[in-house]
Amino acid sequence: MTCKHVTNRLNDLALAALDGPRRVEVEAHVAGCPACRAALDRERRLAAAIDREVAAHLAAEPSQEFAARLRLRLAQEPAPETASSSWASGLLRWPGGWTRGVALALAASMAIGAVWLARRRSSASPQPPLPSAARATPTPCCSGGVPTAETGAAPRAARAAVRTTARNTVSASARAAVRTPPLQQEALAEVIPQVIVDPHQQEDIARLYYAIQANRVDLVSFMAVPPGFKRQADGSLAAAPLEIEPAPDAARDTWSGEAEPAREMK
Amino acid sequence: MDALVGDYADAVVIPDETLEREFAARVDEASRLAFSVAMGVVHNRADAEDVAQEALIRAYRNFKRLREPAAFRGWLVRIAWRLAIDHRRSAGRREQRELESFDPPAGPDVEQLAAAREFGERLWRAVDELPEKLRMVVVLGGIEGYDHGEVAALLRLPEGTVRSRLFAARKKLVEKLRETLPDRLTGTLT
C-alpha cells in the first residue's frame, strides 16, 4: 500500500471509522512511514479540536436574566388554546394597548376599594386571628432560576389558611374560578404592584390584578357599578361615601324611641 | 368585595391546569435545550436567548396540540432550529453576531487566544455551510449529555442514521479545515 492510497484513508482512521482488514493495512503503513504518521497525527488533532470547540461553544449557559425574562413572558401569556369566547373581551383586546391601561386603572381602584371595605368590616365586627402563614407574602418558587411547578410551602399554606378563614370576604365559587396557573403563580410577586391590602384579601387582590393584566377577565362585566362604589369622571370606580340619614327631630333625644312631649314655655 | 369577586368569577376563563403543570415540569430542561440549539445556529448568547425564549413561548402556546408528550423535546428542537435560522437571516443581526461571537476563554497567551478565536470562527463557518441534516446532527450531538441515542430520539431517526450523518459531517469539517486552516493555526492544535 502506497502513501497515496493511505492518505485517502487517514481521515477515516482519525475519526475511528475504519475497521477490519483495511484498518490493519493502513495502520501497518503508518507505522513505517513518518510522513503518513505525521499526517494522521494532524488529522486526529484537528478532529479532536473540532469536537472540543463544538462542545465548548454549545456549553454556554444562558444569562441569569434569561430565566427571569422567560418566567415573566410565560406568565403574561394567556393559557394555551383557551382564548376567551366572549365577543366583548375579543373586542376589548382589539386594537390592544388601551385595554391594559383600563385594566391597570381598574385593578388599582379595586385594590383601594378592597382596603376601604376591609377597614369598614374590621371596624364593624372583629375577625378571628389569622394564622401566621396566611400573612406570608407570596414569593417566587422556582428551581434553578427557571419556572417549575408550584413548590413554595409558605404561599401554599397561606392560600389554604385564607381559604378557611376568609369565607366572609370571597365566595367559594369565585375562589374555584380564580385558579391561577402554576407558571403565573410564580410571577405574581414580580408582577403585582406594591399596594397596601388587608392581609385577608392579599391573595385575592393579587390574583385579580394578574388576571386583569393577562387579559383573562372580561372587562365589560366590570363596567356595572357595584354596590358601595361610585363611577368617577375619568371612568374609574371609587368607594362611595356613606350616606347617613338624619333621625327625626322628635326622636333625637330619646333612647326608647318614644317621643318626648314638648315642654311648654312659661 | 363579594359583588366584585362574583362578577370576576363569571368573567375569568379557566385554563387547563394539567397542561400548565405538564409544561412547567418540562420548562427547566427545555429552556436549556432550546438555548443550546439556538446557540449552535446563531452563535451569539443574546440572540440565542431571544430565539430560545420565542421557541418556548410558541411551544407553550401550542402545547395542547402535541399528541405525544414524549415528543416534546424533539418538537421544541425543531421550533428552536427554524426560529434560529430565520433569526440569522436578518442582515443586521448577522453583522452584530459576527462582531460579538467567538469570545475565547480568558488566558495568558494573547496569540493563543487569537488563534483559538480564529479557529472557532472558521469551524462554525464550515458548520454553517454543511447541509442542514448534517448540521443539525453536529449541533445536537455537541450538546452535553446528548449521545447518538438521544439525538436519534430527538430527530426520530434510527441511531445508525445519526451515526453515519455525524461521521459524514465530521469528515467534511476536517477536510474543509485541513484545506483552509493556516499552518500557524494547525500548530496551535493540541
- Amino acid occupying residue B97: R
Chain B, 135 to 164: residues with Cβ < 8 Å from chain A are 138-139, 142-144
C-alpha cell, A57: 461553544
* Res B42 pLDDT > 50: yes
DSSP A237: E
By CA distance, what is B116's nearest residue in A?
A53
By CA distance, what is B24's nearest residue in A?
A148
The confidence score (pLDDT) of residue A175 equals 42
pTM confidence score? 0.54
Are residues B119 and B181 in contact, defined by beta-carbon separation less than 8 angstroms?
Answer: yes
C-alpha cell, B16: 387547563
Residue A28, number of CB atoms within 10 A of its CB: 12
> Torsion angle of alpha carbons B108, B111, B117, B122, nearest 10°?
-150
Residue A22, number of CB atoms within 10 A of its CB: 13
Of residues B179 and A245, more confidence is placed in B179
Chain A, 6 to 65: residues with Cβ < 8 Å from chain B are 11-12, 14-15, 17, 42-43, 45-51, 53-60, 62-63
Binned at pLDDT 50, 70 and 90, residue B22 comes out as confident
Looking at the complex, report in whole angstroms how far the Cα of residue B91 sits from the nearest Cα belonging to chain A: 22
Is B180 in the A-facing interface, judged by CB distances under 8 Å? no
Residue (of A191, A233, A234, A232) closest to A210 by Cα position: A191
Mean pLDDT score of chain B: 80
Residue A9, number of CB atoms within 10 A of its CB: 21
Q: How far apart are CA B60 and CA A80, in angstroms?
A: 7
Binned at pLDDT 50, 70 and 90, residue B38 comes out as very high
The confidence score (pLDDT) of residue A122 equals 62
pLDDT tens across B125-160, in order?
Answer: 999 999 999 999 999 999 988 999 999 999 999 999
Q: State CA A66 to chain mean position distance.
A: 15
Alpha helices in chain B (DSSP H): 2-11, 17-42, 45-61, 72-88, 91-100, 110-128, 132-142, 148-155, 159-180, 183-186
Are residues A64 and A144 in contact, defined by beta-carbon separation less than 8 angstroms?
Answer: no
* Res B108 pLDDT > 70: no
Q: How far apart are CA B120 and CA B126, in angstroms?
A: 10
Are residues B120 and B98 in contact, defined by beta-carbon separation less than 8 angstroms?
Answer: no
Q: CB-hemisphere CA count at 13 Å for A194?
A: 0
Q: Which residues of A touch B123 (CB under 8 A)?
A: 50, 53-54
The confidence score (pLDDT) of residue B82 equals 93
Q: How far apart are CA A31 and CA A180, in angstroms?
A: 70
Residue A21, number of CB atoms within 10 A of its CB: 7
* Res B37 pLDDT > 90: yes
C-alpha cell, B75: 418538537
C-alpha cell, B27: 420548562
Looking at the complex, report in whole angstroms how far the Cα of residue A132 sits from the nearest Cα belonging to chain B: 23
Is B128 in the A-facing interface, judged by CB distances under 8 Å? no
Q: Which residues of A touch B32 (CB under 8 A)?
A: 62
Of residues B93 and A64, more confidence is placed in A64
Q: State ipTM.
A: 0.80
Per-residue model confidence as pLDDT tens for chain A (266 residues): 788 888 888 888 888 888 888 888 888 898 989 999 988 888 888 888 899 899 999 998 888 888 888 888 888 777 665 434 333 343 344 444 455 556 666 777 777 777 777 776 666 554 444 444 334 444 333 333 333 334 444 444 444 444 444 433 444 434 444 445 555 555 555 544 566 667 777 777 777 777 777 777 666 555 666 667 777 777 677 777 766 666 655 555 555 445 555 555 54
Residue B68, number of CB atoms within 10 A of its CB: 8
Mean pLDDT (whole number) for B93-106: 55
Q: Which of B4, B151, B171, B176 to mutate to test the interface with A (most CBs of A within 10 A)?
A: B4
Residue (of A68, A2, A13, A67) closest to A35 by Cα position: A2
DSSP A226: P
Tell whether omega for the bond before A95 is within 30 degrees of 0, i.e. cis: yes
Looking at the complex, report in whole angstroms how far the Cα of residue B34 sits from the nearest Cα belonging to chain A: 10
Quick one: three-class SS letters along B65-95? HCCCHHHHHHHHHHHHHHHHHHHHCCHHHHH
